[in-house]
Amino acid sequence: MNRFRTACQTLDEFIVTAEVAPPKGADPSQMIEMVRLLKGRVHAVNITDGSRAVLGMSSLAASIILIHHGVEPIYQLACRDRNRIGLQADLLGAQALGIRNVLALTGDPVKAGDHPDAKAVFDLESVRLLQAIDKLNQGKDWNNKTLPDGATDLFPGAAVDPQSSSWSGLKSRFERKIEAGAQFFQSQLITDFDRFDQFMTEIADSSKKPILAGIFLLKSAKNARFINKYVPGVCIPDSIIDRLEQAKHPLEEGILIASEQVKIARELCHGVHIMAVKREDLIPKILDLSGIKPLF
């Protein structure tokens, strides 16, 4: 299972990934059904790690389940809940279990989630987690001690927010992640494609690393307003909210909007990362409308 890695390294095809949240429970059947519908349509599927600080099945365990069902995972690993010992332990476990793609994340603040009194760790953050992965890939632990069983072969990626309010901060952090070993980037939700184009031209293109634009399926005007209110750094414009508000069938309009955004992204970057929370079954329709053919 290395089609995603190959696509990232050769950049000879438009890359598509999708995001699936593990269940808040021990029954993976719904997740498996969603993933089954994505098989053959995406290069890999991200498994979130406590997104929005909400409890869910271990992303490591869920990634293994995907492999068992013939789908290549991107294992998300957040620094919020583990110290450097736990993070390295899980990465070694991922290597042993056949997981290769890792998205290194700092993690959402605990206060945002369903266990607001939990104790956050944040021993590392995303840049230093990327550095830890790079060390493991060189056969060393965080303390530069040699791993007795040899180096790992993990393929690390990172998140990026091209709509960040601080352009200099965005550029600095992007460059630090490149220096730390990031091999691909998945962006946060994109709504301002002019700014995204500027990010690609002025910051990202020179890196020669694949950038996947974050495309979010908005299901209604209410859904869009909720995201604007509760998801930091996101600003869905009134023009999109008005389209959803006036649509006879808001969900169908949301699918159309997402497909239009995929078409724009095809002209600007190397791929898309599609987020359709709890409606991953609609991702193939978004891809069909945007002219993205099944993988072969």
Question: Where in the chain are the domains?
Answer: 1-288
Provide the token pair at 234.
């996101």
CA distances from 92 to 80, 169, 184, 261, 276 (A): 18, 32, 20, 37, 30
242-269 pLDDT, tens digit per residue, is: 999 999 999 999 999 999 999 999 999 9
80-124 pLDDT, tens digit per residue, is: 999 999 999 999 999 999 999 999 999 999 998 999 999 999 999
Q: Considering only CA atoms, which of 284, 295, 220, 231 is closest in space to residue 14? A: 295
pLDDT of residue 32: 97
pLDDT of residue 193: 95
Q: Considering only CA atoms, which of 222, 217, 209 is closest in space to residue 177? A: 209
Contact call for residues 287 and 41 (beta carbons, < 8 A): yes
Task: Tell me yes or no: is domain 1-288 CATH 3.20.20.220.
Answer: yes
Contact call for residues 29 and 19 (beta carbons, < 8 A): no
The contacts of residue 70 (CB under 8 Å, 6+ apart) are 39
Q: Which residues of the chain have pLDDT under 50?
A: none
Tell me how far apart the alpha carbons of residues 26 and 19 are, in angstroms, rounded to a whole number.
19
Q: At residue 125, what are phi and psi to the nearest 5 degrees?
A: -130, -175
Query: What is the amino acid identity at position 35?
Result: V
Query: What is the amino acid identity at position 296?
Result: F
